């Protein structure tokens, strides 16, 4: 799981930098910047072998890259919604998996995210308050697509983890 998460965690760093670099809207820039600062280097907290074939899985990289690509294509409201989906999903994944990684070399990664992602979820929700109803209707498609990609990515995690277990 650490190997799979590291692929996404590395991509998430790119996502945060891209989102920040392309934001010129004072409504979003401070929150995007704060999130970047809080997450900076978290990917390195996740210890991996560096030689696992899981880390080279093309489908896992493609699913992770989709989120980064959205930071180049989407407007700031859409970026906030996509990030909210990621933080919501991460909150549940890290809260549920945290006990499994107690005593693990990467325990700090899971502890940090189980705690911080709840706050990041709240920050994201605040950015989406007070929008026009038409914007919310448009965002439904964006949110649905983001959840589809989270599902694709976590399904790939499951497949790769089960494959690795069978071959060990």
Q: Select the more confidently predicted residue: 60 or 96.
A: 60
Cβ distance 97 to 110 under 8 Å?
Answer: yes
CA-to-CA distance for 100 and 105, rounded, in angstroms? 12
Residue 167 has pLDDT above 90, yes or no: no
At 13 the three-state DSSP class reads: helix
- Do the Cβ atoms of 123 and 49 come closer than 8 Å? no
Rounded mean pLDDT, 1-30: 94
Q: Give the other-Cβ count within 10 Å of 49's Cβ.
A: 10
- pLDDT at 113 exceeding the cut of 90: no
Q: pLDDT by residue (tens digit) across 34-49?
A: 999 998 998 998 888 8
């Amino acid at each position: 799981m650490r190997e799979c998460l590291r692929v996404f965690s590395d991509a998430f760093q790119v996502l945060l930098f891209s989102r920040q670099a392309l934001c010129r809207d004072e409504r979003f820039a401070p929150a995007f910047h704060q999130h970047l600062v809080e997450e900076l280097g978290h990917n390195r907290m996740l210890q991996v072998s560096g030689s696992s074939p899981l880390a080279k899985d093309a489908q896992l990289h493609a699913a992770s890259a989709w989120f980064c690509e959205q930071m180049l294509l989407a407007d700031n409201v859409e970026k906030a919604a996509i990030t909210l989906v990621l933080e919501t999903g991460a909150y549940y994944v890290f809260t549920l998996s945290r006990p499994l990684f107690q005593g693990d070399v990467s325990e700090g990664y899971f502890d940090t995210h189980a705690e911080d992602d709840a706050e990041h979820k709240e920050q994201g929700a605040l950015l989406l308050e007070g929008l026009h109803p038409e914007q919310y209707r448009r965002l439904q498609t964006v949110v649905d697509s983001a959840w589809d990609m989270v599902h694709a990515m976590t399904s790939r995690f499951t497949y790769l983890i089960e494959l690795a277990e069978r071959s060990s």
